[in-house]
Amino acid sequence: MRRIRTGIRATAAVLAALLLLNSSAALAAGNPNTTKNRYYFEERGDMIWEVRTSQKVIALTFDDGPDPQETDSILEVLHQYGAKCTFFAIGKRIAAYPDVARRVIDEGHELANHTYNHVYFKKPISSRQIQQELELTEQEIVKVSGRHSSLFRPPGGMYDETLVDVSNRMGLKPVLWSWHQDTRDWNRPGVWSISSHVIRNAKNGDIVLFHDHVHGPSQTKEALKIILPELAKQGFRFVTVSELIQLSDVQEAKSDRHTAN
C-alpha cells in the first residue's frame, strides 16, 4: 500500500511539473486565452496608468483643451508654483487655438495627443479610425511645436488590443491615470471635493486626471491653488508624464547598470 501511495504522489508531481511547463510555454508563445486587461498591458510596458517610483513625484494631467480661458488660467497657477504638467489636447481645438497650445509648450509643459475629434472608441475599435484620429492631431501638434508627441490618451479611457497596438506602432504610448486619482472635475463636484480627493490619495508616481476644458464654470483652477502648495509642503514635485516615466524605479535601475558598464 505504501508503494502505491508513493507511486501516486510521484505521478502527481510529474503531472504538475508538466502542467507548469506547458503553461509557461503557452504564456511565452502568447496564449490567446490570456486576459488582456490593465495588468497584461502594464506588465508588457504597452500602457501606463501610473509609475512605480521611490521618488516623491506626481504627474498632473489635463484633458480636452486647449481652451483660451481655462487653459490660460490654469497655466497661471502652474507658473506660480513652478509645476510642470502634461496636457492631452484635442486636435481640432489645437487648430482653433494654436496660440494657447504654443503657450503650453513655451512654459515648459508637455503637449500630448487626445485624438482630433475626442472620439469615444467603441469596441471592437477600428485601426483605421485610430490611426486617422492620431495622425490628424499629430499634424496639429507638429505645427505648434515643431515635433511629434510621444504620448496618447484615449477619451474616456476606452481601449482594446487594437488601439494599444496601433498607437504603440505610431510611437504614441497610451497613458490613462491612477484609478484613485480621477478628480471628476468635469462634473464640477466642488473645489473642496476636487482638492481633498487629490491630496488625500497622493502617492509617489501618481498620474492625476484633470480637465482644462469643461462645460460651465471650471473649478479646477481654484482646486489647484489648494493642491499645489499642500503637496509641495509634503515634498512632492510636479513633473510631466514623460519625466515621470524616466524617474520610474525600472528606468533608474537601467541607468545605473548602464553607468556601471
Q: What is the CATH number of the domain that holds 218?
A: 3.20.20.370
**1 and 21 inside one domain:** yes
**26 and 147 inside one domain:** no
**11 and 45 inside one domain:** no
- Structural domain span for residue 20: 1-34
**114 and 3 inside one domain:** no
Which pLDDT band, with edges at 50, 70 and 90, does 34 fall under?
confident
**99 and 140 inside one domain:** yes
212 is catalytic: no
Per-residue pLDDT of 119-131, as tens digits, reads: 999 999 999 999 9
**27 and 45 inside one domain:** no
**3 and 87 inside one domain:** no
Per-residue pLDDT of 195-231, as tens digits, reads: 999 999 999 999 999 999 999 999 999 999 999 999 9
Q: What is the mean pLDDT of the chain?
A: 89
- Please answer whether residues 77 and 228 qualify as being in contact, where contact means their C-beta atoms are separated by less than 8 angstroms: yes
What cell numbers appear for 250 in the block?
525600472
Per-residue pLDDT of 236-261, as tens digits, reads: 999 999 999 999 987 655 555 545 55
**86 and 204 inside one domain:** yes
**18 and 79 inside one domain:** no
What cell numbers appear for 249 in the block?
524605479
Shortest CA distance to 113 belongs to which of 97, 92, 137, 95?
Answer: 137
**129 and 248 inside one domain:** yes
211 is catalytic: yes
Number of domains in the chain: 2
**Residue among 109, 114, 197, 211 flagged as catalytic:** 211
